[in-house]
Amino acid sequence: MNAVISIKPAQASNAGSKFNANDVIEGLVTNEIVFAVVGPAGSGTSWVAEALKTQIADGRKKYSVHPIKASEAISGWADRNQHSVELSDDKKLEKTSRFQDLGDEIRKGDPAGVAIEIISSIKARRSEVKDGENVINVFVIDSLKHPAEVALLRSVYQEAFCLIGVVCEESVRIERLSKGKYANSSLIDIKKFVDRDEDAGISHGQKVSDTFHLADFFVNNTPSRFRSDGKSNPAWDVNEQLGRLLDLLTHTQLIRPTPSEMGMFHAYGAQMRSACLSRQVGAALLDRHGNLISTGTNEVPRAGGGVYGGAFDDFDLQNQGIINDKRCGSLNGYCSNNKVADEIYKELEESLSLKDVDSSYLKHKLKKTAIGRLIEFSRAVHAEMDALLSASRQSASPVGGRLFVTTFPCHYCARHIISAGVDEVQYIEPYPKSRALSLHGDAITQSPVEWSPPSIHQNKENLTVLFRPFTGVAPRMYRRLFLKDRPLKNGNGDQHFGKPEWASGLLRKSYQDVETSLIDSRN
């Protein structure tokens, strides 16, 4: 699918010197888009970036596509600061690891330091465009590695920024690296490199796992681009996925959300109900026809069913001056899981007679062990359990349903999901503490290849529940892409895509300059 981006330079009104406010704002909208990709090592971020570049550039003269390699931005910083990156071509893994070191060095001073180097590259590319050229600059960044980089780019470029997350199964990623780019390296070294890429364990290190879930759109790059016979693999549909994204961004077609996108949006909304001091998680249970059965969030349970803050009764009592809120923040002001964990650390210190060991040092070390990953002392019902229990209170069956969760289920929730008869789970954010796969590998699969829904094929052997990453429009971009903000028909009733009621996107001036422009343009 080829998508035509139809962003036109804003034109001023010809009615003398009289402008309305929207004319002024529209005239200040920049004609630039900044894409960035993020994905774990071996996922194929460069392939996706190249596919995106091709989708935008092919056959369209008004678009100037500028690829921005993060490695080149890092290399430029290294040259300015006398850091050598010279390594022979046969030491590809060592060379990539060297760039990891340099990226860490940049982030020591500022977690968003690499993003600043990327911004410098964008500004330099923009200056190469000749004055008077009626072109739209599209920048494609390959790739981001730290949440601070996303935060800065999103702050600077606002609605002109779009982050694409590249989904790929871990086994496929390892195979691609070991048989391709890093064929001369050992499997052990490759796995160490992959682990460091996902989370270096230091604040200024690479944190792809924490960056990935911040994406606006997710594409699946697990299938190979080519079959074993060298022919194109029809299962590789990255071009189609990216084409749909471009059509959505430019409103060149009338596209509505998929059931999965709607399900994850409901989960995202449920997530915001949580007042948990540790994290917010949301879940939404849909039946096999795409109908919403229930939602859930991680929150403290309340007598009578449900969780605090989730019933109209709570707000009715609040209006009467009665506060029925026993959540951690309101009840005691601390997280019970942390408090019990601290008690365990203290008990270990005393039982092992470690009086000569600094308590803070011991606590720091224990936090990095399995003890520090214990989660059963939280007062909250987990979002997945809340959704399943909410369904049961309504006498609705979860059998054959699809559960959408903002975070990968923990091992506690996984066993309940399996037992409840749910067919499929889709998630966005990883959860390293979960042991769901190691404890329930007999009942869970991560590969949709030859998978059969257990509710439909109950007599089949080796039935499994599918746990897979979400793909499509992320909840953070759902409203922007699917809310009707412009006419969809003309005066005759024929389908016609009009202009949005108000111009949106990145403005070329600061808000103070915009104020001045609006004041100066008034009658």
278 and 247 in a common domain: no
494 occurs within a structural domain: no
CATH code assigned at 162 = 3.40.50.300
* pLDDT value for 205: 86
138 and 62 in a common domain: yes
* pLDDT value for 502: 66
* pLDDT value for 309: 85
Q: Residue 237 above 60 pLDDT?
A: yes
Q: Residue 10 above 50 pLDDT?
A: no
* Torsion angle of the four alpha carbons 324, 328, 330, 334, in this order, in degrees rounded to the nearest 10: 160
pLDDT above 70 covers a percentage of the chain that reads: 92
Which among 323, 351, 373 is the end of a domain?
A: 373
| Three-state DSSP string of 101-146 | HHHHHHHHHCCCHHHHHHHHHHHHHHHCCCCCCCCEEEEEEECCCC
* pLDDT value for 9: 41
Q: Residue 311 above 80 pLDDT?
A: no
Q: What is the per-residue burial (b if ≥16 Cβ within 10 Å, else e) of 74-94?
A: bbebbeeeeeeeeeeeeebbe
113 occurs within a structural domain: yes
Extract the tokens encoding 331: 């009840």
516 occurs within a structural domain: no
Identify the residue with better confidence: 357 or 399.
399
Please state, in angstroms and rounded to a whole number, the distance separating the CA atoms of residues 440 and 459.
Answer: 20
Q: Residue 166 above 70 pLDDT?
A: yes
Q: Residue 227 above 90 pLDDT?
A: no
138 and 68 in a common domain: yes
* pLDDT value for 507: 83
Please state, in angstroms and rounded to a whole number, the distance separating the CA atoms of residues 67 and 50.
Answer: 8
Please state, in angstroms and rounded to a whole number, the distance separating the CA atoms of residues 294 and 285.
Answer: 5
492 occurs within a structural domain: no
Cβ proximity of 68 and 255 under 8 Å: no
242 and 148 in a common domain: yes
444 occurs within a structural domain: yes
Q: What is the mean pLDDT of the chain?
A: 88
* pLDDT value for 461: 82
Structural domain for 114, as ranges: 33-253
Q: Residue 42 above 80 pLDDT?
A: yes
Report yes or no on whether pTM surpasses 0.85: yes
* pLDDT value for 341: 85
Q: What backbone phi and psi angles, to 5 degrees, belong to 292?
A: -75, 125
* pLDDT value for 64: 86
Which CA distances in Å does 284 have to 153, 156, 259, 475? 30, 33, 12, 13
pLDDT above 90 covers a percentage of the chain that reads: 56
168 and 297 in a common domain: no
Lowest mean pLDDT among 33-37, 180-184, 484-488: 484-488
Which CA distances in Å does 357 have to 124, 340, 353? 54, 21, 9
* pLDDT value for 462: 85
27 occurs within a structural domain: no
159 and 40 in a common domain: yes
511 occurs within a structural domain: no
Residue 151's nearest CA partner among 229, 234, 231, 211 is 211
Alpha-carbon Rg of the chain, whole angstroms?
Answer: 26
383 and 368 in a common domain: no
130 and 233 in a common domain: yes
Lowest mean pLDDT among 291-295, 352-356, 369-373, 432-436: 352-356
| Structure confidence by residue, pLDDT tens digits, 425-467 | 999 999 988 999 999 999 999 999 889 999 998 777 889 999 9
198 occurs within a structural domain: yes
Q: Residue 238 above 50 pLDDT?
A: yes
CATH code assigned at 401 = 3.40.140.10
285 and 343 in a common domain: no
pLDDT band at residue 66 using 50, 70 and 90 as cut-offs = very high
* pLDDT value for 12: 43
299 and 347 in a common domain: no
346 and 215 in a common domain: no
Q: Residue 19 above 70 pLDDT?
A: no
Q: 201: how many CB neighbours lie within 10 A of its CB?
A: 11
Which among 314, 345, 373 is the end of a domain?
A: 373
292 and 172 in a common domain: no
| Structure confidence by residue, pLDDT tens digits, 20-33 | 888 888 888 888 99
* pLDDT value for 15: 46
Amino acid identity at 376: E
Number of domains in the chain: 3
